[in-house]
Structure 1
Amino acid sequence: MNGLSLEHIDKKYGDHVIFSFEKWSLDHGIYWVKGGNGTGKTTLFKVISGQTPFGGELSLNGVSLKKAPVAYRSMISYAEAEPQYPSFITGNELLNYHIAVRKAEHSEAQDIVEQFGMTAFMDHKIGSYSSGMLKKLSLICAFTGNIQLYILDEPLITIDTHAAQVLYALIRSYHEKGSSFLLSSHQELEPGQLPLKGVFQIKDKQIEAC
C-alpha cells in the first residue's frame, strides 16, 4: 500500500461533532486505534471504508473515495464490530458472494474457514449462529480476496482464544504479503503478536499518536 491520506476531515451527526482534523496519513503497516466505546473509532472506520458521508478528502494509493468510489472501495475490506447479515442465508452463500465479487480463489477462502473451525457450520443458516460464529464468519469474509487495506473494528470481541491466535496469524501473513491493517480495540492487544507501526487514539475530536 502506498498510503492512506485523510485531509480536512469533519464528521458530525446533527450539531454533534465526532471529529475534526486537518491531516492524517499512513503508509504500509499495521495500525491500532485504541480507546473506549463512544470515542469515534467505528465512525472513523466507516468514513475510511466509504460507509458514511463526511467532509474533506480521502484517498488510498492516490485513488480518491469521492472521485472514484468504486475503485477506492475495491481496495478495502471492512469487518464491523457487530456484523449483521440476513438470517435466512447460509454462511457459504455469504462467503461465495464475497468470492465472486472479489474474484478470489475458492480454495484460499476454504482454508481460512478451516483455520477458524467453521467448516461444519457453513451450510447452516446465519440466523442459527452464535455471536462468536457470526464474528468468525465476518472475519472469514473480510480476509477473502487480494485487498490493500483491511479495516477490522473490534476484531477480538466474542471470539475464543484459538480464533484470536488464527486472527493474529492471518494479519501477520497478509501484512508480509503487502497488505495494511487498521484495527480498533478498547482492550489491549496481546503483546508481541503484531508488529504495530503506530498506535493512535481519538481525543478532543483529533487523532493523536499514543
Structure 2
Amino acid sequence: MLSLTNINKKYGSHEVLNISEWRIDNGIHWLKGGNGTGKSTLFRIISGQIPFDGEVELNGINLKKEPIKFRSKISFAEAEPQYPLFITGNELIDFYTETRNTQRKQADELADYFEMSAFLYNKIGIYSSGMLKKLSLICAFIGNPDLYILDEPLITIDIASADKLYCLIREMAVQGKSFLLSSHQEVSSDKLKLDTVLQIIDKQIVQL
C-alpha cells in the first residue's frame, strides 16, 4: 500500500533518515518514539511537504511522478498545526472543502462530532490549543483520502475528544482507510487495534 525506497533526508550535514526499503499494507500503524527521532520529518516526506532523496509510492502512485494525484490520496495533520490567525475556523474549513472537492455537509458533521460548531465563526487566533487541535482533526478528515497521517493527534485534547477520535479511526478503518499515527503516549490497545507498532531507530524504521 505505502512503500519507501532509498529515502535519505538531511538538514545541512545532519542526516535524519536513511531508509533503504520500507513497506506497510492497509491498516492502522503506530509510529512511537520521542522528539528528535525523525517522526515528523518522515510524515512530511510521505505527505509531500518537504524535498527528499528517494521514492515514495502509495497504491502504485509515485509522489515525484504524479504529485497532485498522490497528494489527493493523503491527508496529513501536523502535531502543532499553524494556521493564519486572522481567519475564522469556517474560512479554513471552506478552503479544505474546496481544495478536496467535497461537500460542506461532511465538515459540518465533523464539527458537530468534535463539538466545535459554535466556535467556527471565531478567528483562529483566539483558539485554545485544544480547539486548534480539534480544528486540525476536522480538516484532516475532510475529503476521501486513502491514507490519514496524524502526527501526535492525542496531544492537547481531552479524554472525551480522544475517545471520539479513536471511534472515528475505527469507523474509517472498517471502510478500508489506512492510518499512520505517531504519539508519545501509549495508544490504548482496547480502544484501537493496531496492525503494526513502529519506531525509528538509527535513522531507519523498525517494526517492534
Query: Which TM-score tier does this pair reach, normalised by the shorter chain?
Result: over 0.9
Matched ranges for 1:61-100 at <5 A: 61-100=59-98
Give 1:76's aligned amino acid.
I
- The Cα of 1:89 is off from its aligned counterpart by 0.5
Give 1:18's aligned amino acid.
V
Match of 1:156 among 141, 154, 174: 154
2:49 paired residue number:
51
- The Cα of 1:39 is off from its aligned counterpart by 0.6
- CA-to-aligned-CA distance 1:79-105 (integer Å, 9 cap, x gap): 000000001110011001111111222
2:100 paired residue number:
102
Divergent runs of 4+, >6 A: none
Give 1:161's aligned amino acid.
I
- CA-to-aligned-CA distance 1:155-201 (integer Å, 9 cap, x gap): 00000011101111111111111110000011101231112110100
2:170 paired residue number:
172
Secondary structure (helix, strand or coil) at the match of 1:86 reads: coil
Report the TM-score when normalising by structure 2. Answer: 0.98
1:144 paired residue number:
142
Secondary structure (helix, strand or coil) at the match of 1:58 reads: strand
- The Cα of 1:106 is off from its aligned counterpart by 1.8
RMSD, matched Cα: 0.8
Secondary structure (helix, strand or coil) at the match of 2:50 reads: coil
- The Cα of 1:107 is off from its aligned counterpart by 1.7
Q: Where does the alignment leave 5 or more consecutive residues of structure 1 unmatched? A: none
Secondary structure (helix, strand or coil) at the match of 2:23 reads: strand
Secondary structure (helix, strand or coil) at the match of 1:196 reads: coil
1:40 equivalent to 2:43? Answer: no
2:2 paired residue number:
4
Identity rate, percent: 59
Q: Where does the alignment leave 5 or more consecutive residues of structure 2 unmatched? A: none
